[in-house]
Protein backbone atom coordinates (compact mmCIF):
# COMPACT_ATOMS: atom_id res chain seq x y z
CA UNK A 1 0.00 0.00 0.00
CA UNK A 2 1.44 3.35 -1.08
CA UNK A 3 1.12 6.21 1.41
CA UNK A 4 0.50 9.65 -0.05
CA UNK A 5 3.31 12.11 0.57
CA UNK A 6 2.34 15.28 2.41
CA UNK A 7 2.65 18.39 0.25
CA UNK A 8 4.62 21.25 1.82
CA UNK A 9 4.88 24.73 0.33
CA UNK A 10 7.99 26.64 1.45
CA UNK A 11 7.78 30.40 0.91
CA UNK A 12 10.97 32.37 1.52
CA UNK A 13 12.67 35.07 -0.54
CA UNK A 14 16.00 33.28 -0.09
CA UNK A 15 16.23 30.49 -2.65
CA UNK A 16 19.07 28.85 -0.70
CA UNK A 17 16.74 28.43 2.31
CA UNK A 18 13.88 26.95 0.29
CA UNK A 19 16.26 24.63 -1.58
CA UNK A 20 17.79 23.33 1.67
CA UNK A 21 14.36 22.60 3.15
CA UNK A 22 13.18 20.94 -0.07
CA UNK A 23 16.21 18.65 -0.30
CA UNK A 24 16.04 17.68 3.35
CA UNK A 25 12.29 17.08 3.54
CA UNK A 26 12.04 15.23 0.24
CA UNK A 27 14.98 13.10 1.37
CA UNK A 28 12.73 11.62 4.07
CA UNK A 29 10.41 10.27 1.33
CA UNK A 30 7.44 11.55 3.37
CA UNK A 31 7.03 14.95 1.71
CA UNK A 32 6.64 16.57 -1.67
CA UNK A 33 7.94 20.13 -1.44
CA UNK A 34 7.31 23.12 -3.66
CA UNK A 35 9.49 26.20 -3.32
CA UNK A 36 8.23 29.74 -3.87
CA UNK A 37 10.63 32.68 -3.60
CA UNK A 38 8.21 35.41 -4.68
CA UNK A 39 5.67 36.34 -2.01
CA UNK A 40 3.36 37.90 -4.61
CA UNK A 41 3.17 34.60 -6.52
CA UNK A 42 2.76 32.44 -3.41
CA UNK A 43 -1.05 32.46 -3.18
CA UNK A 44 -1.58 31.28 -6.76
CA UNK A 45 1.24 28.73 -6.32
CA UNK A 46 -0.42 27.43 -3.15
CA UNK A 47 -3.85 27.21 -4.77
CA UNK A 48 -2.37 25.16 -7.61
CA UNK A 49 -0.23 22.93 -5.35
CA UNK A 50 -2.82 22.43 -2.56
CA UNK A 51 -0.28 21.96 0.25
CA UNK A 52 -1.03 20.16 3.49
CA UNK A 53 1.10 22.78 5.32
CA UNK A 54 2.85 26.06 4.48
CA UNK A 55 6.28 27.01 5.85
CA UNK A 56 6.34 30.80 5.59
CA UNK A 57 9.16 33.28 6.12
CA UNK A 58 8.16 36.35 8.14
CA UNK A 59 10.55 38.88 6.62
CA UNK A 60 10.34 39.21 2.84
CA UNK A 61 10.54 42.16 0.46
CA UNK A 62 7.27 43.41 -1.06
CA UNK A 63 5.02 41.52 1.37
CA UNK A 64 5.74 40.25 4.88
CA UNK A 65 4.72 36.84 6.12
CA UNK A 66 1.87 38.15 8.26
CA UNK A 67 0.22 39.84 5.27
CA UNK A 68 0.79 36.76 3.13
CA UNK A 69 -0.71 34.50 5.82
CA UNK A 70 -3.81 36.72 5.80
CA UNK A 71 -4.04 36.28 2.01
CA UNK A 72 -3.77 32.50 2.37
CA UNK A 73 -6.55 32.52 4.94
CA UNK A 74 -8.94 34.51 2.76
CA UNK A 75 -8.62 31.93 -0.03
CA UNK A 76 -11.39 29.32 0.18
CA UNK A 77 -8.89 26.71 -1.09
CA UNK A 78 -6.27 27.54 1.56
CA UNK A 79 -8.04 28.80 4.67
CA UNK A 80 -7.77 25.45 6.47
CA UNK A 81 -4.09 24.87 5.59
CA UNK A 82 -1.81 25.16 8.65
CA UNK A 83 0.90 27.81 8.47
CA UNK A 84 4.21 27.62 10.34
CA UNK A 85 6.34 30.76 10.32
CA UNK A 86 10.10 30.67 9.82
CA UNK A 87 11.65 33.77 11.32
CA UNK A 88 14.94 35.37 12.30
CA UNK A 89 13.19 38.07 14.35
CA UNK A 90 13.01 35.82 17.40
CA UNK A 91 15.59 33.66 19.11
CA UNK A 92 15.35 29.98 19.95
CA UNK A 93 14.88 31.03 23.59
CA UNK A 94 11.92 33.26 22.63
CA UNK A 95 10.40 30.34 20.73
CA UNK A 96 10.58 28.20 23.87
CA UNK A 97 9.24 31.02 26.08
CA UNK A 98 6.30 31.59 23.72
CA UNK A 99 5.65 27.86 23.45
CA UNK A 100 6.49 28.05 19.75
CA UNK A 101 3.75 30.49 18.74
CA UNK A 102 3.42 34.01 17.37
CA UNK A 103 -0.18 34.89 18.10
CA UNK A 104 -2.09 31.89 16.85
CA UNK A 105 0.63 30.65 14.48
CA UNK A 106 3.42 28.23 15.35
CA UNK A 107 6.91 29.30 14.37
CA UNK A 108 10.47 28.08 14.08
CA UNK A 109 13.41 30.43 14.69
CA UNK A 110 16.08 30.87 12.04
CA UNK A 111 18.62 29.68 11.39
CA UNK A 112 16.47 26.60 11.16
CA UNK A 113 17.59 23.28 12.49
CA UNK A 114 16.32 20.77 9.96
CA UNK A 115 15.42 18.15 12.55
CA UNK A 116 13.34 20.77 14.41
CA UNK A 117 11.46 21.62 11.22
CA UNK A 118 10.80 17.92 10.64
CA UNK A 119 9.54 17.49 14.22
CA UNK A 120 7.29 20.54 13.77
CA UNK A 121 5.80 19.10 10.56
CA UNK A 122 5.16 15.75 12.21
CA UNK A 123 3.49 17.53 15.14
CA UNK A 124 1.18 19.61 12.92
CA UNK A 125 0.45 16.94 10.31
CA UNK A 126 0.41 13.87 12.53
CA UNK A 127 2.83 10.98 12.36
- Looking at residue 126, its pLDDT comes to 82
> Which residues of the chain have a pLDDT value below 50?
none
At residue 89, the pLDDT reads: 76
Cis previous bond, 91, omega within 30: no
Give the pLDDT of residue 107.
84
Average pLDDT, the chain: 90
Structure confidence at residue 99 (pLDDT): 62
Amino acid sequence: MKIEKKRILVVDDRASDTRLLKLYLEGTNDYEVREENDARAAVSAAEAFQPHLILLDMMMPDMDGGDLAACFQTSPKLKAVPIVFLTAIVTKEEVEAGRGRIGRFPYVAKPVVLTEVLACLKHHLGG
